Amino acid sequence: MRRREFLRHVTLGAVAAAAAVQWRAAHAWVDDASGVDPEWWNARNFAPVATETTGERLRVTGRLPLSLDGLYVRNGTNAHPGTISPHWFIGDGMVHGVRLGDGDARWYRNRWIQTNELSRDTGLVGGGGPPSLTDGYANVSVIHHAGKLLASGEVGLPWELSPVDLSTVGVYDFGGRLRTSMTAHPKIDPATGQLHFFGYWFTPPYLTYHVADADGALVHSESVDIPASTMIHDFAVTERDVVFWDLPVVFDLDQLDTGIPFTWRPANGARIGVMPLGGPATDIRWVEIEPCYVFHGVNAFRDGDTVVVDVCRHDRMFAPGVTDSGALTLRRWRVSTGRPAFRFSDEIVEERDAGELPTRDPRRVGREHRFGYLLQSHRRGDALVFGGVAKQDFVTGRREVWRTDRHRQGNEFLFVPDGPGEDDGHLLAFVHDDRRDASDLVVLDARDVSAGPVASVQLPVRVPYGFHAAWVPTS
């Protein structure tokens, strides 16, 4: 198999990957109580939109906070007309953005990311030449750092976008210094402004750690020794540490025909590694844990000699012949790093309606946090569909929830700060209304989540369910 064809199979969307097994049938749109569309990713609001749209003078219900002066932009898959996606998390990247300012919603735009894959699909350029790290859809997340807006996929290099109009600037390799993939969940240290990120691959080195300084220059890269090619979708940092979870979802060529080239292999082992922030990777220490899978962490921090990590934990993922991932629970992991002991403990924070796709105050990344915000879901007949958001208080254990009605489905919520407190800010997400077959950008006050939206921006089109978002402030 040519590497280009292989990359078409492995450019996984973060949200979809988290949902692909546990929610494979459950996230389908159900027309009646008797069944589920077997190709739900091509139906209703999972289906791609066919055109790029620009809308201005958007209608606002409620009052947009004046503090929201910038661009909300979210990534996701959107197969180009004439192409067929084999699953929700494989397809051309498309960003959707809403520009807010002075209490108004100035414009909405959706734009395909003009990657090499899109160019080949549409015939915009010739597809000749050997495949490279520029292959891939850049369809998972968007990152704003050092004045750059980057779109990233599960594998491959990121692509730079213009925050002015969401047009594609081009592939971005940090001035030629980035020579591995950039996976979709970088972390910005709020104290230093440094960008910490990693890439995994299917041949050695399987895992590489990177640091870019506050000005966006790539200043450090080194491989982290792991024994096999495992799917590491996310990681965590503290003010002193990098935390990797190396879990038993292993690259498997035999699974390519399924569209997901990974398999659940608990014999490979499961472990958490803690290494110094900035390296060296040779100082990483590992502790074995019970096999499980984690796509997304909420946050991590230091408590003396203990590293605390809050994660969304699945019992398993991509297990052959199994149609679900078992229980999804919100967990607090503790790794005691004192010498010579290196111990692990695991606490269930929330077992029922735990939630996934978490967000938090970006100023608390790597620091002790009190709150996390998680996407909820609800049932429609035999199906489980996206819902509202839960605010988890990790100190008191209290949970505050905004629930959508049966006609509206949310997506991942993004926290945008507007004051000094940890929950001083707003939560933004696209919410689809199937009665109108259109979407709104909803804004919730993070201090009073259960009150529901303080404002909704009515969009001229629907926004298909997608993945991760970023906030680009005006200044």
The per-residue pLDDT for range 150-171, each reduced to its tens digit, is: 999 988 899 999 999 999 999 9
The answer to whether the Cα torsion of 9, 15, 18, 19 is positive or negative is negative
Identify the pLDDT of residue 7.
46
Q: Are strands 249-251 and 104-112 parallel, antiparallel or unpaired?
A: unpaired
Instruction: Please state the pTM of the whole predicted model.
Output: 0.90
Identify the pLDDT of residue 322.
79
Residue ranges in the chain modelled with pLDDT below 50: 1-4, 6-36, 123-131, 381-383
CA-CA distance, 344 to 329, in Å (whole number)? 17
DSSP bridge pairs for 242 = 237, 275
Identify the pLDDT of residue 378.
59
Angle (CA) 249-183-308 rounded to 5° is 70
Look up residue 260 and give its amino acid: I
Q: Which CATH number fits domain 3-473: 2.120.10.30, 3.30.70.1450, 3.90.650.10, 1.20.1250.20?
A: 2.120.10.30
Identify the pLDDT of residue 86.
72
Instruction: Count the helices and strands in the chain (H runs, E runs).
Output: 3, 33
Identify the pLDDT of residue 120.
63
CA-CA distance, 446 to 449, in Å (whole number)? 5
CA-CA distance, 233 to 247, in Å (whole number)? 10
Identify the pLDDT of residue 8.
46
Identify the pLDDT of residue 385.
74
